[in-house]
């Protein structure tokens, strides 16, 4: 392996999060050599994702060491709550002061933006929530993984694996990232190839938007409130 430095990566978790946003990256990061991966929350009580998967935190916010990588996942209404959670936002701001990379997957970028950590940066998000990033002073991109200085963001849910492999290459070298990609047999071939709005067609896109409407509206309200507090 090319780089033998010790890395500490903190994956934030919270109730009603989207578990694949964090478990995909966790699989990649835990495959890296000499890397410590922490699951961070306010307490050590079990955290239940929006799909019902229970995840155990390993470290509480108050005892979190200085991180090399801070990563925030997206979620459903839990993500909207985290956009307005003072303890969460304060923790993110504190860690961002010293972290080598400040990162997010899916709507986790909305939480980073609500903390003021993406203002003036280019970032990705789940396609249904991109417009809300612009409210908080973020330059929105439809790329699967966006790297802007020390801010790294992934698009919706499954982009977390691409995102994590990108970070693995940055921290441990391209050979290590390639080794992990092959070891995990990460060779996606979507059976229907409709995983982006550009490919899905207007009818399917609208169907998803209709189902997500209550969440989009709640997230939009939280984004507007955050934008006001950030003077965007």
Cα distances from 25 to residues 156, 166, 175, 201, in angstroms, run 13, 10, 18, 29
H helix runs in the chain, sequence order: 19-29, 77-82, 86-96, 108-114, 130-135, 159-172, 174-183, 197-200, 202-229
71 is catalytic: no
Instruction: Determine which one of 64, 71, 106, 125 is catalytic.
Output: 106
| Rounded CA separation 64/44 (Å) | 12
Cα dihedral across residues 144, 153, 182, 38: positive or negative: negative
Residues in the chain: 232
| Rounded CA separation 117/119 (Å) | 6
Cα dihedral across residues 17, 19, 22, 26: positive or negative: positive
**Cα Dmax for the chain:** 50
Burial of 45 (0-12, 13-18, 19+ CB in 10 A): exposed
Cα dihedral across residues 29, 168, 157, 130: positive or negative: positive
* Active site residue ranges: 106
């Amino acid at each position: 392996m090319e780089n033998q430095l010790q890395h500490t990566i903190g994956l934030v978790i919270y109730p009603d999060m989207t578990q694949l946003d964090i478990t995909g990256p966790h699989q990649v990061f835990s495959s890296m050599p000499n890397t410590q991966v922490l699951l961070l929350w306010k307490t050590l009580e079990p955290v239940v994702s929006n799909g019902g998967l229970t995840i155990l935190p390993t470290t509480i916010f108050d005892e979190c060491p200085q991180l090399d990588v801070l990563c925030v996942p997206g979620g459903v209404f839990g993500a909207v709550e985290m956009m307005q959670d003072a303890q969460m936002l304060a923790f993110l701001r504190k860690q961002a002061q010293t972290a080598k990379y400040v990162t997010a997957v899916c709507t986790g970028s909305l939480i980073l933006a609500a903390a003021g950590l993406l203002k003036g940066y280019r970032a990705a998000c789940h396609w249904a929530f991109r417009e809300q990033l612009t409210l908080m002073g973020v330059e929105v991109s439809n790329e699967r993984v966006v790297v802007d200085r020390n801010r790294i963001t992934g698009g919706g849910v499954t982009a977390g694996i691409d995102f994590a492999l990108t970070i693995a290459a940055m921290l441990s070298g391209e050979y290590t990232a390639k080794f992990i990609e092959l070891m995990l047999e990460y060779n996606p071939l979507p059976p229907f190839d409709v995983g982006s709005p550009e490919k899905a067609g207007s009818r399917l896109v609208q169907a998803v938007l209709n189902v997500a409407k209550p969440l989009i509206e709640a997230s939009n309200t939280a984004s507007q409130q955050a934008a006001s507090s950030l003077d965007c």
